[in-house]
Structure 1
Amino acid sequence: MSWGIWEEKALVKPKAAIYTLGCKVNQNESDAIISTLAHAGYEEVSFEDKADVYIINTCTVTHLADRKSRQMIRRAVKTNPRAVVAVTGCYAQTAPGEVLGISGVNLVIGTRDRHRLAELIEEAKEGRAPINAVRDIMDAQAFEEISQEEVLPHKSRAYLKIQEGCNQYCSYCIIPYARGPMRSRPVDRVIRRAEELVAGGYQEIILTGIHTGAYGVDLAGNVDLAFLVERLIRIEGLKRLRISSIDPHEIGERLLNVIAGSPVLCRHLHIPLQSGDDAVLQRMNRVYDTAQYAELIGGIRQRVPGIALTTDIMVGFPGETEEEFLHSYQFIERIDFSGLHVFKYSPRQGTPAATFPHQVAPEIKESWSNKLITLGRRLLKNYAEKHIGSVLDVLVEQHTRISGQAYWEGHTDNYLHVAFPSAQDVKGQLIDVRLETYRDGFIFGHPEQGAARGL
């Protein structure tokens, strides 16, 4: 073989592909993992392509998430049986034995020590027995940086992880066991990362975490989410700051003052309710009742007119009766949310609720879920149609086709999903769009004259 061929082979980068299941935190962590592998000399390719390394970043919030995780692991093995298959995330953390039992898996790493991923992949390439690198997460004490994250150029909105873990221990939830105790990212690191993202061209930053509203409880000084937000909105060039999710008891006056007074903070809060029945909430170990929740929502709307308020709703919690479901349905309807994320209760081994009596039949869960999904669509339509005729700025995320026609799509600050036509490439820009009609989850409109801003 000639030296030229050796040199050519040496210049070929190994290929890595990643598949992400679950929440926005997982997506943020997958970006950091790809950055880690890029620093180690890997080239990212599509998960459908033949790669040298496949990473599956798993979710375990439901049995369906577990099953989907296993499906994607097997798909990677089938695509290239000679590749290193590495499994990370919450399912890997809580069930490493199950994951290692899947033929073709080379490495399991869970939700800790992922800064070592490139090193462990090299060990796995040596072809010995599969590596179980999962460590106990419950003694984790500090926020773990996965990598020196790159500013990825192909996205319009950036997710910024500000904390890890949860101390709430809702009776149905496996996540505290998968993620460990609360650990906040130090304020200076959050600010530095946000400045990097803005300098890289991002117009919107979304604060994410496992329990975002509890940010700062483990940090010294008077540090909380409101303090962090006050610092972030002062970053020059940042157009939008969004909070991904926050529990109702963590929305205080200081945070509401910032939302009401800053044009940078998005007029959208996702506030998990889980159930609109007090008895169910108590069994769930939620720390509020419906009266407190309703009072909070009324106060928010009074302070921030037009704000979008979305929520999570669980159906079929153990012992939930038709009467309790009806209470929940009526409460949700009365609160008049802007959108619902509905999911069916799934028993998680190791959680108290998995042992509760009177587990609800699957067909009843399905029926209740369908009823709430239908209600959610109606509530979204009602909220969207209140904005018909308005001109709102849309952060453009991607080009798409809807019913065979070409559109640009994106979101307003109050999380309306907007589609509009434009012959120009406007991805990543803020565009003033006149909203005209609502159909199938989208508000369709047209850009105003001289509508492009930013970049």
Structure 2
Amino acid sequence: MIDTSAFQGKKAAFFTLGCKLNFSETSTFGRLLSEMGVSTAGEGEVADICIINTCSVTEVADHKCRQAIHRMVRNHPGAFVVVTGCYAQLKPETVSQIEGVDLVLGANEKANLIQFLSEAWGGVKNGEALHRYHTQKTKDIKTFAPSCSRGNRTRYFLKVQDGCNYFCTYCTIPYARGFSRNPSIASLVEQAEQAAAEGGKEIVLTGVNIGDFGETTNERFVDLVKALDKIEGIKRYRISSIEPDLLDDELIEYCAQSRAFMPHFHIPLQSGSDEVLRLMHRRYDTALFAHKINLIKKVMPDAFIGVDVMVGTRGEKPELFEETYNFLQSLDVTQLHVFPYSERPGTMALKIPYVVSDGDKKLRSKRLLDMSDNKTHAFYERFIGYEAEVLFEKAARGRAMHGFTKNYIRVELPPSPDNDRLDNQLVKVKLGDFNHDKTALKALL
């Protein structure tokens, strides 16, 4: 039994690092605490509870997590500090010993955040940190923590899957989040219907490897998409990221004629060299990837396509990077998300002998980022002068308001006292020229 009186009138502060899935889960933590009588601390207020949701995709991410923990402890003296997420799962004892940390929860335990928090909170004496941690081994991570939250954003994020069965040689995610698992289509439809009842108009489907949906329930991701598409209250859906080998042709063709799934895809490539893909233990080749891009563009010519690329991984000799560069140049994609390779302890990539220098990683990253800027600019430029429907998000007073078109073009409205009425509204605008920093097109009402 949880004593809710201990939570009444308390304030909580949150900090999230990493992927959209983490942000969705943090938002759910906030909602659960709110139901216990805990409010979110305002700017400059000292919180009673601090929740840090961590990432561990690179060594840089680990460093940022440690910095964030130190900063939260410093800014909220006396607060009960909880750390969860991927870094917490992979290094629980290390994290628990950081000054000021009271409780570390792994991937299996965060679903019971309130229970663990309630039990541990009573053990704090004289402001001394507890330094407790609770985690399970990867093979024992079984729980699925539901999450459908919007936090401070207009869009809802619906968690449809967790974990991964793909042991790519460079990646620690299966060790941090466990094996692939998912809830039922029926339960996800129920959550989406609740989001619609709350006034939500757009939902982003999130997960670790969402194309693997159905491992637990013997269902298919495309059938989840079809079921969600029937919920009239939701006007837009976006698929956050999906592996190319799990992006069925049937799914692409359904999205092209669906009521609410947007012409917007995010597909991890990682390398445009078949040799490097084999070293990474990826489950596709460049021919399959090109087929998926070409099919999307055939049935949805205006689709926005984002692509993840990793540079400087072990084994990526100069000529193999050139293969990646030329392959990406040949594809009709919109934006590249470029990540320099980071050595992760315990991964199979460390057995690959060829190592790329940090200097070469930076040069390769810059070349791909320059290509990305050119592709995104050209994509945006195509739509100047056209009408488009934009879902706007509330802006801070005196700041420009932004929103996105169906095909994920960022649109900007100049500051105006009347703009608040447009928050979470779908508005027809004419797309003007680029804004001052070329990150959006100006909207003409």
SS at match of 1:387: coil
Alignment partner of 2:214 out of 213, 216, 222: 216
String of CA shifts for 1:397-447, please: whole Å, max 9, x gaps: 23269xxx8421011111111112353321111111211112434333334
Alignment partner of 2:401 out of 395, 398, 408: 408
- Preserved contact between residue 433 and residue 445 of structure 1 (Cα < 8 Å): no
Q: Corresponding residue for 1:442?
A: 439
Task: Please say which of residues 192-201 and 347-356 is displaced more in the overlay.
Answer: 347-356
C-alpha distance in structure 2 between counterparts of 1:290 and 1:235, whole Å: 36
Alignment partner of 1:166 out of 164, 167, 171: 164
1:280 lines up with 2:299 in the alignment: no
SS at match of 2:336: strand
Quick one: which amino acid aligns to residue 443 of structure 2? H
C-alpha distance in structure 1 between counterparts of 2:151 and 2:163, whole Å: 29
C-alpha distance in structure 1 between counterparts of 2:310 and 2:293, whole Å: 19
Q: What is the CA-CA distance between 1:153 and the residue it aligns to? A: 7.4
C-alpha distance in structure 2 between counterparts of 1:434 and 1:59, whole Å: 39
- Preserved contact between residue 46 and residue 77 of structure 2 (Cα < 8 Å): no
Quick one: which amino acid aligns to residue 343 of structure 2? P
Q: What is the CA-CA distance between 1:189 and the residue it aligns to? A: 1.0
Q: Corresponding residue for 1:419?
A: 412
C-alpha distance in structure 2 between counterparts of 1:87 and 1:47, whole Å: 21
- Preserved contact between residue 108 and residue 142 of structure 2 (Cα < 8 Å): no
String of CA shifts for 1:151-192, please: whole Å, max 9, x gaps: 657431000000110001111110010000010121111000
CA shift in 2, pair 1:253/1:71, >3 Å? same
C-alpha distance in structure 2 between counterparts of 1:46 and 1:66, whole Å: 27
1:388 lines up with 2:384 in the alignment: yes
Alignment partner of 1:16 out of 8, 12, 18: 12
Q: What is the CA-CA distance between 1:295 and the residue it aligns to? A: 1.7
Q: Following superposition of structure 1 onto structure 2, how do residues 3-402 of structure 1 map, counting pairs within 5 Å?
A: 13-46=9-42, 49-125=45-121, 126-127=123-124, 129-145=130-146, 154-220=152-218, 223-399=219-395
Task: Please say which of residues 270-279 and 295-304 is displaced more in the overlay.
Answer: 295-304
- Preserved contact between residue 434 and residue 442 of structure 2 (Cα < 8 Å): no
Quick one: which amino acid aligns to residue 142 of structure 2? Q
String of CA shifts for 1:346-368, please: whole Å, max 9, x gaps: 01111111332222111111111
Q: What is the CA-CA distance between 1:46 and the residue it aligns to? A: 4.4
- Preserved contact between residue 390 and residue 406 of structure 2 (Cα < 8 Å): yes
Quick one: which amino acid aligns to residue 141 of structure 2? A
SS at match of 1:57: strand
Structure 1 stretches lacking a partner, 5+ long: 1-8, 449-455
SS at match of 2:139: coil
C-alpha distance in structure 2 between counterparts of 1:11 and 1:100, whole Å: 23
C-alpha distance in structure 2 between counterparts of 1:260 and 1:389, whole Å: 24
Q: What is the CA-CA distance between 1:48 and the residue it aligns to? A: 5.5
Quick one: which amino acid aligns to residue 64 of structure 1? V
CA shift in 2, pair 1:102/1:154, >3 Å? closer
SS at match of 2:395: strand
SS at match of 1:341: strand
C-alpha distance in structure 1 between counterparts of 2:167 and 2:183, whole Å: 21
C-alpha distance in structure 1 between counterparts of 2:429 and 2:359, whole Å: 43
Q: What is the CA-CA distance between 1:339 and the residue it aligns to? A: 0.5
CA shift in 2, pair 1:242/1:152, >3 Å? closer
C-alpha distance in structure 2 between counterparts of 1:118 and 1:171, whole Å: 35
Q: What is the CA-CA distance between 1:12 and the residue it aligns to? A: 6.4
Q: What is the CA-CA distance between 1:260 and the residue it aligns to? A: 1.1
SS at match of 2:270: coil
SS at match of 1:17: strand
SS at match of 1:164: coil
Quick one: which amino acid aligns to residue 419 of structure 1? E
C-alpha distance in structure 1 between counterparts of 2:379 and 2:46, whole Å: 45
C-alpha distance in structure 1 between counterparts of 2:106 and 2:6, whole Å: 32
CA shift in 2, pair 1:106/1:10, >3 Å? closer
Q: How many correspondences in the alignment?
A: 432
C-alpha distance in structure 2 between counterparts of 1:73 and 1:42, whole Å: 21
**TM superposition score normalised by structure 2:** 0.92
Quick one: which amino acid aligns to residue 365 of structure 1? K
- Preserved contact between residue 90 and residue 179 of structure 1 (Cα < 8 Å): yes
Q: Over aligned residues, Cα RMSD in angstroms?
A: 2.0
- Preserved contact between residue 391 and residue 426 of structure 2 (Cα < 8 Å): yes
Structure 2 stretches lacking a partner, 5+ long: none
- Preserved contact between residue 419 and residue 442 of structure 1 (Cα < 8 Å): no
Q: Corresponding residue for 1:5?
A: none
CA shift in 2, pair 1:105/1:260, >3 Å? same
C-alpha distance in structure 2 between counterparts of 1:364 and 1:329, whole Å: 14
Task: Please say which of residues 58-67 and 244-253 is displaced more in the overlay.
Answer: 244-253
